[in-house]
């Protein structure tokens, strides 16, 4: 049985550590091999993965289905060079939030255009936002919008000058 067409056009999103360190139950050896295969070639058919892993296509399909239902595989996406699409600016913004509203603010910020990542962090600041913009005007609107949000006390933005590495697919 070959993988359905809907899978052929999908690629994995950024992966994470699989195992007890991530607060998840330990995945079996086949799951890890399948995840590695998906991370290296998200368009590989179940048949191709099965041949590489020396298991049946049905086994691969079953494991992928289970990984999806367990939300280990949360989606599929292409790896895109956003700079080639005109996103000239990558910005890392620190935020300081008052009155215990951090999670509410982070959820709102995560919905804003251009936002790639929102992190709750330790230290002197409360959160970190990574976002991409086509120009300074978009960045200006974003920054002013952040400061207009209730409970956002302060922001500190860092414009990335050179991207040395940007790949959230970890070796597992």
For the chain, list the domains and their CATH numbers.
Answer: 5-69 (1.10.10), 82-159 (3.30.70.920)
**pLDDT number for residue 171:** 85
Q: In what order do the strands lie in the sheet with 89-97?
A: 115-120, 127-133, 89-97, 152-159
**pLDDT number for residue 156:** 97
**pLDDT number for residue 77:** 86
pLDDT higher at 71 or 168: 71
Distance CA 21, CA 66 (A): 20
Alpha helices in the chain (DSSP H): 5-8, 29-40, 46-53, 57-69, 102-110, 136-148
φ/ψ of 115, rounded to 5, equals: -75, 125
**pLDDT number for residue 28:** 87
From 41, 44, 43, 57, select the one nearest 2 (Cα to Cα): 57
**pLDDT number for residue 27:** 53
Alpha helices in 70-158 (DSSP H): 102-110, 136-148
Residue-averaged pLDDT of the chain? 85
- Per-residue confidence at 142, pLDDT binned at 50, 70, 90? very high
**pLDDT number for residue 84:** 95
- Per-residue confidence at 99, pLDDT binned at 50, 70, 90? confident
User: Span 12-22, mean pLDDT?
Assistant: 41
């Amino acid at each position: 049985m070959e993988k359905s067409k809907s899978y052929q056009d999908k690629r994995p999103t950024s992966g994470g550590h699989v195992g007890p360190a991530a607060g998840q139950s330990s995945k079996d050896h086949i799951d890890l091999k399948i995840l590695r295969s998906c991370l290296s070639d998200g368009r590989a058919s179940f048949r191709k993965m099965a041949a590489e892993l020396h298991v049946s296509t049905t086994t691969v399909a079953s494991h992928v289905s289970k990984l999806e239902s367990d939300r280990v595989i949360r989606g599929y996406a292409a790896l895109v060079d956003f700079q080639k699409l005109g996103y000239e600016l990558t910005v890392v913004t620190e935020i300081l939030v008052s009155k215990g509203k951090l999670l509410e603010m982070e959820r709102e910020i995560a919905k804003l255009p251009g936002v790639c990542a929102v992190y709750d962090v330790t230290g002197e600041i409360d959160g970190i936002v990574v976002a991409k913009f086509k120009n300074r005007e978009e960045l200006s609107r974003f920054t002013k919008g952040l400061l207009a949000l209730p409970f956002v006390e302060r922001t500190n933005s860092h414009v990335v000058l050179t991207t040395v590495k940007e790949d959230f697919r970890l070796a597992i």
